[in-house]
Structure 1
Amino acid sequence: MDLANQALFPTVFSQSTSCIPILNGSNFSEWKERLTFTLGCMDIDLAFREDMPPKKLYERWERSNRLSLLLIQNHISRKIRGSIPDCKTAKEFLTAVEEQFVSSKKALASTLISRFASLKYNDNGGIREHIMELRDIAAQLKSLEVDMSETFLVHFVLNSLPMEYAPFKISYNTHTEKWTMNQLLAMCVDEEQRIK
C-alpha cells in the first residue's frame, strides 16, 4: 500500500465499517451479510477467498487476515465474543461464529414459516408491498433450505388476498396457463387499481 493510501486507510476503514451492526445474537444473517460486503468493498477479504498463500503473496494475505479478524472481533458483542475459541485465521474465526448460530437457523426458519403462513393482505401499504414481503420471506426460507415452488407461491399469494379479489382468483383458477410471480404481481397491481 502506498503512503497516500496508508494515510487515508484509517478514515475509510472507520467510515466503511460503521454500517456493520454489532452481532448481538439475534441479527446474525444481517451481520454476516454486511460484514462480508464491507470486507469485499475494502478489498481485505483475501483471507476468506484464499488459503494461506506462498511466501511472495503472504504479506498481503496476512494483512487481510489481521484486519479482517480485528473487524470481525470488534463487531461482535463481548458476551458472544467470549464464547468463541481463539483462531489464527479470519476464515476459521467466522466459521466458529457461524457454528454458534446453527441452531438459530432452525428457529429462524420456524419463525419465518409462521410469519409467512399468517400474512394476509389488509390494504396497508398496497398489494405490491404485500407480495414483495411474501417473496422476501420465501427467499429467506430458501436460504435456510426451506424451498417452495413458484406455483405454490402464486397460489399462496392468491389465497392471502381478501374477498374483494374473489373474481380475480376465479379468473386465475379458470385459465389453463400458470402465472409466474412477476405476472401475478403485475396483474394484482392492475386489479388493485381497478378495485379502488
Structure 2
Amino acid sequence: MCKHNFIFATSTFHASYVVKFNGFNYNEWSEQVEYYLGVQNLDLALMTEKPTDLTENSTDEERSFHKKWERSNRLSLKFLRMTMASEIKTSFPATEYAKKFMRLAKETSQSKVVDKSHAGALISKLTTMKYDGSRSMYEHVTKMSNIATGIRNMGLSMDKNLLV
C-alpha cells in the first residue's frame, strides 16, 4: 500500500470515530476534530491565518511554512467535510480555508440553537392553544395549521394526532 493510500485509509478510519457535525453539536464535534488534527499534526491551518503569498524574496523558512500550511489547510478541509452530516454538507457555504470553515460551523450551530428555541416556543404555543370563541373555528384551525407549518419548515415533524 502506498503512503498516500495509507494516510487516506487512516484518516477515513479516524473520521468514523469523530461525531458527525449536525448543526447542533459544534462543541463536541470541534473538540474531537481539533484533537484528531492536532495528533496528526494537521492543525496548523486551524491555528494560524493564511500566510502571505510567496515572492521572489521569500526565505526558505517562509517557503517551508507556506508549504506546511497549504498541506494542513487542504487535508483539514477534507477531514472537516468528511465529519459533517450529509444533510448539513449540501447547504454548507463553500470556503477555501479550514479556519473559516470552523467559524462558519460555529455560526451555523449558534443559529440552530436559536431555531431550536423558536421551535420549542411554537410547539408550546400550539399545544396550549384553546378555542375561546373570540374568532371563528375556521380562523382558529388556520392559525394552528400555520404554526404547525412553521414547525415543519424548521425540519421537525408534526404528528397529525397532535394537531387533532
The correspondence of residues 73-152 of structure 1 with structure 2, limited to 5 A, is 73-104=81-112
Q: Distance in 2 between matches of 1:62 and 1:17?
A: 21
Three-state SS of the structure 1 residue aligned to 2:50 is coil
Counterparts in 2 of 1:29-68, with a 5 A limit? Answer: 29-53=27-51, 54-68=62-76
Give the number of the structure with larger relative contact order, counting CA–CA contacts within 8 Å between residues 6 or more apart. 2
Take 1:86 and 1:37, find their aligned partners in 2: how far apart are those partners?
Answer: 23
Amino acid at match of 1:19: Y
- Aligned residue for 2:21, secondary structure, equals coil
Query: CA separation in 2, counterparts of 1:15 and 1:79?
Result: 21
Query: What 5-or-longer segments of structure 1 have no aligned partner?
Result: 109-196
Partner of 1:18: 16
| 2:24–2:109 Cα contact (<8 Å) kept | no
Quote the offset at 1:5 in angstroms: 5.8
Offset at residue 101 of structure 1 (A): 1.1
The one-letter code matched in structure 1 to 2:109 is: F
- The unaligned stretches of length 5 or more in structure 2 are 52-61, 118-164
- Cα offset for 1:105? 5.2
Residue 184 of structure 1: aligned partner: none
- Deviating beyond 3 angstroms after TM superposition, the runs of 4 or more aligned structure 1 residues are 4-8, 103-108
TM-score after normalising by structure 2: 0.55
Cα distance in structure 2, aligned partners of 1:61 and 1:51: 9
What percentage of residue pairs aligned between the two structures are identical? 29
2:11–2:79 CA contact under 8 A, matched in 1: no
- CA 1:17–1:78: 2 relative to 1, 3 Å: closer
**Distance in 2, Cα, partners of 1:56 & 1:43:** 15
Q: 1:7: how far off?
A: 6.2
Partner-residue secondary structure (3-state), 1:101: helix
Aligned to 1:160: none
